[in-house]
Structure formats: structure tokens, C-alpha cells
Chains A and B, each alone.
Chain A
Amino acid sequence: EPEVTQTPSHQVTQMGQEVILRCVPISNHLYFYWYRQILGQKVEFLVSFYNNEISEKSEIFDDQFSVERPDGSNFTLKIRSTKLEDSAMYFCASNPGLVAGSPLHFGNGTRLTVT
């Protein structure tokens, strides 16, 4: 069964550094999402992406965050200048978007640790 793949599985960075989290969504999916989960807390929506542009973003997704689909397969989340509070698990998800109510398919996540 096709999967959403995320790399790296764990990223450690120093405060103020830029990080790029990478995702390869399922190939025929049209909608892409990033969520984050601070340790032990809820799964929070960051951004959704469709047709090469952001369709919705949350309050968390401020100017420090950006997303890009640089080619036909990758979907990246960039954090320009990381803060300690950005430490979390980041999940990429995709959805075919063709059928109402189709579920999100999640990757295994990237654990980001900012020191």
C-alpha cells in the first residue's frame, strides 16, 4: 500500500537555525498537510496545500514557516529561525481529494529537537 514518507525521522538543531522537513506524499494525492504534535499534547493543524498554493494556515504558521512543493513528488516544511518551542513531532499528511470524506494518510513524522 502506498505510504507517505518523511525524512529525517529525527532532526536536532540549534536555536536560530533553519530546518527543512521533507515529505513525499502518496503519488496521486492532491491535498497536502502539515501537523505538529508537541510531546504529549494534541495534534495541531499547521497548513494545507493544494494546487501549488497554501489553501489554509493556522495561527501557528507564522512568517517563520513556509511550505513548498519544489518538484512533482516532495513537499517541504521550512522553519526559518527555529525556537525552543518549535520542538515537536511534525507530521505530513496527504489526501486524494477526489472523494468527500476521504481520510488523511500520515507519515511517521519527524521529531524536531531545538536546543
Chain B
Amino acid sequence: AQSVTQLGSHVSVSEGALVLLRCNYSSSVPPYLFWYVQYPNQGLQLLLKYTTGATLVKGINGFEAEFKKSETSFHLTKPSAHMSDAAEYFCAVSARNSGTYKYIFGTGTRLKVLA
């Protein structure tokens, strides 16, 4: 079975500061990991994904995440926050389950960027 835990339902950073959103996963099989962003009144938009290979994954809008198997983590970072980064961020894990892929989402982290 797969699960995802996002630490911190709300994170506030100053504009220009480092963004760090935490995600830990549990999976009985090699996982596929994703970060999605949700702006108000919109659907979820893919930021980045990890499947296999390089453990440091770069996504859109300057975000990146590192897959650390030993820590079962997939934290999302951005060196310098912009006001436009204010949104809700969801970590998700996927694994094959009886012929289909199941996607499990974390509870989300709302990022606030302070001027």
C-alpha cells in the first residue's frame, strides 16, 4: 500500500527566501512521485515527477525535488520565492495496483509568500 505525508499544512516564507515543502512517502514497491500545484479555483497542475534515474528532478517555475530512498522523502524546494508561488502544493505517490495505477495524494501544503 502507498501513502504520502506532507509535514506542515501551512508554510510562510518571505519573497526571495528559500521554499522547502516536505513530503514523505510509504510504498511497498518502487514509487513514482509527483508534486502538483493548485491555484485558487483551478485544477491540479503538474510541477515535476520522479520515475527512475536521476534523483534530483527539476520542474516548472524553478522548483526542484530530490528523491531520497533512504529517508523515503521527496521534498520540494525553490531557491527564491516569488509572490506568484502562493498556492497549495500536493505531493502524490503512484504505483501499479492490480493492472491500474493508483495515485494517492497528500493533504496539501498552503504556501504563503510575504512581501
In B94-113, the 8 Å CB interface with A consists of 94, 96-108
Instruction: Determine whether A72 belongs to the interface, using a CB cutoff of 8 Å to chain B.
Output: no
Q: Which residues of the other chain, B, contact A31 by a CB distance below 8 angstroms?
A: 100-101
Contact residues of A: prevailing secondary structure: strand
> Are A43 and B99 CB-contacts (below 8 A) given A106-B43, A106-B44, A107-B43?
no
The answer to whether A103 touches B34, judged by C-beta atoms less than 8 angstroms apart, is yes
User: Residues of B within 8 Å of A, CB-based: how many?
Assistant: 29
A101 engages B103 (CB within 8 Å):
no
Contact of B43 among A42, A45, A91, A95 (CB under 8 A): A91
For chain A, residues 69 to 115, give those with C-beta under 8 angstroms from any C-beta of chain B: 91, 93, 95, 97, 100-101, 103-109
Q: 20 A-B pairs, CB-CB below 8 angstroms?
A: A4-B43, A42-B105, A42-B106, A42-B107, A42-B108, A43-B90, A43-B105, A45-B104, A50-B99, A50-B100, A55-B98, A55-B100, A56-B98, A56-B100, A97-B101, A101-B50, A104-B92, A106-B36, A108-B41, A108-B43
